[in-house]
Amino acid sequence: MFRKRRDADRQRVRIVFDGRTIEAEAGATVAAALLCNGVVAFRDPVVSGTSRGPHCMIGACFECLVEIDGTPGQQACLVPVREGMSIGRQAPLPAVAP
């Protein structure tokens, strides 16, 4: 579905997702970089247990939440990649008792 577009003039950066180093196009969003590298599951919700990934790519749906440099709850579709960025799957929040 997504594939890397090779543009010789575009700078590449290295980011780490769940311990795996991947290359991304400078200026791309975290979501675009992950999708282009085959990552489709960004988080696991508590309620359904079904892995979730980007849906709208404009920051409206909150399906692309990831942990970036130790800060959870970041919208991957809105954050541009930068060299050395450390990204991890968003851990599910604990269920709240009624």
The position carrying tokens 């247990």 is 49
CB-side neighbour CA atoms (13 Å) of 78: 13
Whether residue 58 lies inside any domain: the answer is yes
pLDDT digits (tens, 9 = 90+) for 21-74: 999 999 999 999 999 999 999 987 777 778 889 999 999 999 999 999 999 999
Model pTM score: 0.83
Whether residue 31 lies inside any domain: the answer is yes
Q: What does the alpha-carbon distance between residue 22 and residue 32 come to, in Å, rounded to a whole number? A: 12
Whether residue 23 lies inside any domain: the answer is yes
Whether residue 98 lies inside any domain: the answer is no
Which pLDDT score, from 0 to 100, does residue 70 have? 94
Tokens encoding 33: 């970089």
Q: What does the alpha-carbon distance between residue 49 and residue 72 come to, in Å, rounded to a whole number? A: 18
- Domain assignment of residue 80, given as a range: 12-89
Look up the CATH number of the domain holding residue 71: 3.10.20.740
Tokens encoding 84: 């050395």
β-sheet bridge partners, residue 12: 25
Which pLDDT score, from 0 to 100, does residue 49 have? 73
What does the pLDDT average to over 81-96?
A: 85
Whether residue 18 lies inside any domain: the answer is yes
The total number of structural domains that make up the chain: 1
